[in-house]
Structure 1
């Protein structure tokens, strides 16, 4: 493969979170070769911009010519351009290299324009007299312009705060497109919108086709963190890198949006103010590795590893071992199967809540499939109980035990209060753990007594169901859904720890659930039946 090159024309950030420095990091992270033209030098850190000094327009033009005459550029990105004469110097250099914008020059240049006007800290980065030149001379060169909401309002001459809804974003983007730009990618990070009734917020980014007028939108979870310095520069450089690789504009901006979201989630503190994003999050050592041949399910592996010995105690519990051996007391099995029936009802409700918490139809469909599988599983429990003379109505009337209530209410509470990932994680130990146990016991693991004769072991059917093809397929689908949910919602290291604590708590409650079955085995069958409210 030939090396793709991206030229960034922007200001220098001495704090290295934005500007030329952020651009070059981003370009490198996208496996392109970055070249640079510096338009201004800033004295800048995480607390703000203290001073700005421009580079002469002649020197800016000389830098552009030097790079393009020798190295060339598969795409170009502009950022802070300092002043009117600098903008005109850039336009003259583009015309010299590519011809007129309207006569094919724009298509050849593949210019991504980040209309840097004001820093996040409020420092003016583009004089008012230069804005007209930006609108009339440089915008027609842009394949994509990537304003945030304040920049879009400024470029259209709208009052600050005019954009309050997604429809306002569409109108503003359409007005920007009339100024000659081919595509408008209007970023919604300054206007997080509520999602559902659990306090979650999302960011809506809008891409408008300047020729057809058609708009598409992408929604990502809003991360309320302070390390967002340089996100505009970073996104525009990522879009330019995508175009350099030959991606369509739609794919380039979508991938860039995902890259920036993950960079924000993976950021770490730098300085005393608004720190930078983590430009090399995909290249640096990760607390959560990318899927690979050794670990195709890294999120699941992380959760299990983070639960410590709780997972080992759970999947090697004496109760399922006694079922495999056929030595479990009937009283223990009856208590378990009846309480598990009630647990599964709440489990189904939790997965229904998970479906409610997403607008991604594939993720919603995955939750619905889990509910369908749970219904099948509860019917297995009904058949077991009927074998022992317990009717469906009697099973339904059995009250939930205190242990079961503690577990099911935790699952429902986390699912109701949390987001989609919370609902997935809190239900994962049950799904995955039963799969581990079933597979382990069905394969007659050394050191565990297994009686696989169904005539001698009345519980062997239970082992066969959970170790068999149907349930193992459910586990595989559930893990894939868990991994996909995380992939579509990048999280910070702190959030990963929070999810691990939820997973561990649910695992401990699973252990308590099986402990209760063992305790029930110490009673007589009549005592168990009376306790469960069943006729003796």
Structure 2
């Protein structure tokens, strides 16, 4: 209630766009929503049937009434209907709104269904009168082309068909007078390969920075870099996956810096027809975050994230028979863990890894792993590792035997017992593997556990004895999933001949083959699906999810410590 936000836009009787979408967004993001109505529309999810503009004088009357009593912290404009409204509104805003109040301009010209919502003369009025007042202009790709053509009649409506073209268009749009531009990329589906190439730190990205004389930042969603989940996704190869990129441009003078800044926000493409009101919702969310005092960049990142989640949440529902609305209230119809969707079918695993992403990266890119993949790991360090791994396998088998003891379902008793027996058999194969490094069974048995091994094993068993089956399943999962991620990471780097990684002739070739191989990856898949099934049955509260996440984090730290135990020792002492 202490952050009033004003929407100046049209009405959508079906509730998915316009002021209806704006008010839902304001409410969902804990602000007080106000509206100035510019037009009535007759529409539903299938399309717009008619538009009735509100007289310009009455639009201004509404604005003055609101501004004189409840000054907004931020304002957004949407559908403005005609040139007279735009001109009158622009003059009124100059006299009533403080220059310090952020103004987000969504240049609504065409509806999702393709209906024209702004005539040609109104587009010119938008360019000449309103846009120069804006804090942030938020066109999509077709609207950007239309605005640039209207600003320069000698310029044809040039198609924007590449990411580099989006960067150039964003720069050109700022010249219309708006302080910053967010060029939305929903109409321009790009492959992950093309984006990765252009935004590569050492390649084209550096060239593009030199060309634009601007800093370029790339915001990647965390779930796009979890290889064990990518491996479960059917269909396209990793680099053929489609992504959407929104490009924010902040010129140097706006930032009070010597250079401007582009921020490219990358999101997985959600295959859905239910995107009605996406632009309205995004501009409303931007106004909220700006009104709360966030920077233009942080507001954009937060707003894009809100809209992406609203699109994903809407895939669980069906409203109307056409292009349905987003789920604006997804963040207040609160579930600590979202339901599985086509884009995120394994939400628990995604949550676990994303919640500790820096730590997870430290784990799967550990110096032990990197040196092993490059064949440079000192043999005596590896020998120390496989000796301790023999001890860990014993405790790992005991943990699964404990799982069998704790459960009361015969199917689960059988499954956990079989895993314990499999690990016991695997220990025999481990002995044979150790022999290839001149480490025999008597040496394995004579080697004492290191503090790191004992600490890890005791923590897992303590979790199992004190906690539930779910607690213990999670405690043993970080090892299984982590080694799966490491295996796929090494396989990818080897296949790309990247940074000195190789397999043929690598002294640790068999280890790489084992953990990147299908048999082990099948075990990872089974573990992920078991975790997801169990957590769906539990439907955890926020506090319970936090407890489980803490177990996951602790075990990941202990995994790192296990590899540290090999790397920290002096070679002379091995």
Same fold, TM-score > 0.5, yes or no = yes
What is the DSSP-based 3-state SS (H/G/I as helix, E as strand, rest coil) of the residue aligned with 2:10? strand
For residues 232 and 476 of structure 1, do their structure 2 counterparts lie closer, same or farther at Cα, with a shift above 3 Å needed? farther
Q: Deviations over 1:376-417 (max 9, x none)?
A: xxxxxxxxxxxxxxxx99x959x98xxx97634647xxxxxx
Match of 1:320 among 420, 436, 447: 420
After superposition, give the CA deviation of every residue in 1:400-452 in whole Å (9 maximum; x if it has no partner): 8xxx97634647xxxxxxxxxxxx867758999xxxxxxxxxxxxxxxxxxxx
Q: Aligned to 1:243, which of 290, 297, 305?
A: 290
Contact kept, 8 Å, 1:174 with 1:213, in 2: the verdict is no
- Give the structure 2 partner of residue 528 of structure 1: none
With over 3 angstroms needed to count, the CA separation of the structure-2 counterparts of 1:336 and 1:144, relative to structure 1, is same
User: After the TM superposition, which residues 27-46 of structure 1 pair with which residues of structure 2 at under 5 Å, given as runs?
Assistant: 27-46=26-45
1:378 maps to none
Q: CA deviation at 1:65?
A: 0.7
Secondary structure of 1:81's aligned partner: coil
Deviation at 1:472, TM superposition (A): 5.8
Give the secondary-structure state (helix, strand or coil) at the position aligned to 1:94: helix
**CA drift at 1:108:** 2.1
Give the TM-score normalised by structure 2.
0.57
Structure 1 distance, partners of 2:180, 2:156, is 23
Return the TM-score normalized by structure 1: 0.61
**Secondary structure of 1:317's partner?**
helix
- Are 1:152 and 2:144 matched, yes or no? yes
Partners of 2:41 and 2:293 lie apart in 1 by 33
Q: Give RMSD over aligned pairs.
A: 4.4
- Alignment-derived partner of residue 243 in structure 2: 202
Partner of residue 11, structure 1 = 10
Match of 1:77, SS state, is strand
Q: Give, in whole Å, the separation in 2 of the partners of 1:74 and 1:181.
A: 19
Alignment of 1:106-505 (within 5 A): 107-157=99-149, 159=156, 162-196=159-193, 197-198=237-238, 199-210=240-251, 211=253, 212-267=259-314, 268-286=317-335, 288=337, 299-300=348-349, 312-313=412-413, 316-317=416-417, 320=420, 333-335=427-429, 348-352=486-490, 407-408=519-520, 410=522, 428=528, 473-474=557-558
- SS, match of residue 143 in structure 2: helix
**Cα drift, residue 289 of structure 1:** 5.0
CA distance in 2, matches of 1:201, 1:73: 39
Aligned residues: 373
Contact kept? 1:11, 1:39, Cα under 8 Å: yes
The change in CA–CA distance for 1:356 and 1:223 in structure 2 (over 3 A counts) is farther
Give unmatched runs, 5+ long, in structure 1. 99-104, 291-296, 358-370, 372-391, 412-423, 433-466, 479-536
CA separation in 2, counterparts of 1:339 and 1:410?
A: 21
Aligned to 2:135, the other structure's residue is in SS state: strand
1:320 Cα deviation after fit: 3.1
Q: Residues 277 and 476 (structure 1 numbering): CA distance in 2 closer, same or farther, change over 3 Å?
A: farther
Is contact 1:150-1:160 (8 Å) kept? no
**CA offsets, 1:104-160, max 9 Å, x none?**
x5x323100000011121111011011111001100110000000000000001655
